[in-house]
Structure 1
Amino acid sequence: MIEETGLIEQEEQDLYEHLRVVVDKGQSLLRIDKFLMHRIENASRNRIQNAIELGNVLVNEKAIKPSYKVKPQDVISIVLPHPPRDTEVYPENLPLDIVYEDDDVLIVNKAAGMVVHPGYNNYTGTLVNALVYHFQQLPTLPGNDGRPGLVHRIDKDTSGLLLISKNERAMTWLARQFFEHTIARKYIALVWGDLPEDGTVTGYIGRSIADRRVMSVYDDPEKGKWSVTHYKVLERMDYVTLIECQLETGRTHQIRAHMKHIGHPLFNDAMYGGDKIVKGTVFSKYKQFVENCFELLPRQALHAQSLGFLHPTLKKRLYFEAPLPPDFEAALEKWRKYGQRLETSD
């Protein structure tokens, strides 16, 4: 009996599968890799053995050796990366801002406006197209089929750090960390309004009934997945606030939906109501000032600033940061100067 007990969501939605297998009462003793090969679709023996060696396969909540033989009514839990979809991805020589690279992982500072992976209406010009081209210039590595392994995702108009695995072993190792929420990610966001203090937003995130493209926060667990975002105030600039967000969970549009939910949508986030004047004065000069800021930062003010994880081979935690991009910095500087003018006019 196999039941799918959950998917890691957010920008990394659908990248990993969490399966729970209850062994039948009449099952004879059989090596666990052979047993799972016949019960998990698209799972090679090598893929399963990698998962076992990395501790991603538990039997009765305990890690086991590859030689373990399943017994009747064992409860087996598995976290595996989904296999690549059977669609052609064409390599494209697109610029990449590579922050770090070794034989196992690649860290990219993604520019705002770049779609992460091919999909409807976006089959070219994506980060994955660029990564496929980049990987063609590298030696063939065991477990690497020449396609980059996305470990998580960020929205098209969000800038910042993305972690990519370069082989099956790294993918499986990182899958577990994402599943257990031990990969540390911090985002910088500019939100509308004056946030009074640091805080935490929680709730069940699911698709909006009114617009399926938008995520809403619900109190009902039947309507979504549990989500937690911690935020810290970094700087107040009268009608906007610069904050740092730390994700405890990873749901689609989590920060964007959470800040909208508490009445502080991200600055210039069109999908969540931040592309109009939410706080401020009625004066025409102020309206023009905000419009100028929108032109400088023509997207939601969200940047994936830092990323920390346990490396699959080095077995030590690595930490990376990416500075705010020029469009974000330009809008911030404009708001700071606006605030200074208000102070001198008081």
Structure 2
Amino acid sequence: MTDTPTILFEDGEALVIDKPAGLPVERPRRGGPSLESHQEALKLGFQRAPVPVHRLDTDTSGCLLLARNPKALVRFSRAFEERLVAKRYLGILAGVPQQSEGTIELSLTKQSSAERGWRMIAARKGKPAITHWRMLGEIDGHALIEFRPETGRTHQIRIHALAGLGLPLLGDPVYGSGQSDRAKGAPRTMLHAAALEVPRQGKLSISAIAPLPADFASLGFDDG
């Protein structure tokens, strides 16, 4: 089992952890380690184990908010639904976009097939999705991008990178395959949830920053 995730923020109703890449939030059907494997260690003296408020893909590292009681879970979930949560992601593209910044508005829907399983696609009749982005740097034909999603659709940044910018995230095994040989040039999908801020009535906001992972730094990038 991997080491217990690093705690970035802690108070009586919330934890924010730095989820390692490769650790699933939900227990896989095939078994194996998941966030649930660390429940006891993350209780930190509380009787209840903290519960994830949102999801990060298994490959995605960085800030994950956990609620320490049911009432907090309801409040935090509502903050996500009402788009009150500020989220900052860093991603490395398998290429360099033509522009340096912009906003992507592409609705998303799920598509399933027996041959390819399920994936998300851009579709007019899908659920609205909005992502703001800007390029922070370029090294060896790869671009470091800051993504600030307004919505939180499944695979939103991965699809918006591919369909909106015309370039997949480096290492993406689903949306990178067949799009570019360079998409296979990393051991995982290069996406990191770098910062999270959740407003609270009558209390200071929950605020956390997850340091840049070693695999980003190994490609020569810093946090811009």
- Common fold, TM-score beyond 0.5? yes
Q: Which residue of 2 aligns with 1:300?
A: 189
Q: Which residue of 2 aligns with 1:331?
A: 219
Q: Which residue of 2 aligns with 1:271?
A: 174
Q: Which residue of 1 aligns with 2:58?
A: 156
Q: 1:190 and 1:120, CA in 2 relative to 1: closer, same or farther beyond 3 A?
A: same
**Deviation at 1:311?**
3.8
What does the per-residue CA deviation read over 1:101-131, in whole Å, with 9 as the maximum and x for residues that have no partner?
Answer: 1211011001101011214223x41112202
Report the 3-state secondary structure (helix = DSSP H, G, I; strand = E; otherwise coil) of the residue aligned with 1:316.
strand
Q: Within 1, Cα distance between the matches of 2:177 and 2:207?
A: 31
**Alignment pair present for 1:112 and 2:21:** yes
TM-score (norm 2): 0.87
The structure that is strand-richer by fraction is 2
Q: Does the CA-based 8 Å contact 1:305-1:321 persist in structure 2? A: yes
**Alignment pair present for 1:101 and 2:101:** no
Q: Which structure would you say has the larger RCO, counting Cα contacts within 8 Å and 6 or more residues apart?
A: 2
Q: Which residue of 1 aligns with 2:118?
A: 213
Equivalent position to 1:127, from 25, 32, 35: 35
Report the 3-state secondary structure (helix = DSSP H, G, I; strand = E; otherwise coil) of the residue aligned with 2:129.
strand
Q: How does 1:161-310 map to 2 (within 5 A)?
A: 161-195=63-97, 196-210=99-113, 211-219=116-124, 221=125, 224-237=126-139, 239-262=141-164, 263-273=166-176, 277-278=180-181, 294=185, 297-310=186-199
Report the 3-state secondary structure (helix = DSSP H, G, I; strand = E; otherwise coil) of the residue aligned with 2:42.
helix
Cα RMSD between the aligned structures? 2.3
Structure 1 segments unaligned to the other structure (5+ residues): 1-91, 141-145, 280-289, 334-346
Q: How does 1:23-34 map to 2 (within 5 A)?
A: none
**Deviation at 1:260?**
1.2
**Deviation at 1:239?**
2.0
What does the per-residue CA deviation read over 1:228-284, in whole Å, with 9 as the maximum and x for residues that have no partner?
Answer: 1111111123522111000110000100011111311001111112587457xxxxx
Q: 1:259 and 1:132, CA in 2 relative to 1: closer, same or farther beyond 3 A?
A: same
The structure that is helix-richer by fraction is 1
Number of equivalent positions: 217
Q: Within 1, Cα distance between the matches of 2:58 and 2:8?
A: 19
Q: Within 2, Cα distance between the matches of 1:238 and 1:325?
A: 19
Q: 1:148 and 1:164, CA in 2 relative to 1: closer, same or farther beyond 3 A?
A: same
Q: Within 2, Cα distance between the matches of 1:265 and 1:166?
A: 36
- Runs of 4+ that moved beyond 3 A: 209-212, 274-279
- Aligned-residue sequence identity (percent) comes to 32
**Deviation at 1:208?**
2.5
**Deviation at 1:93?**
8.7
TM-score (norm 1): 0.58
Q: Does the CA-based 8 Å contact 1:234-1:242 persist in structure 2? A: yes
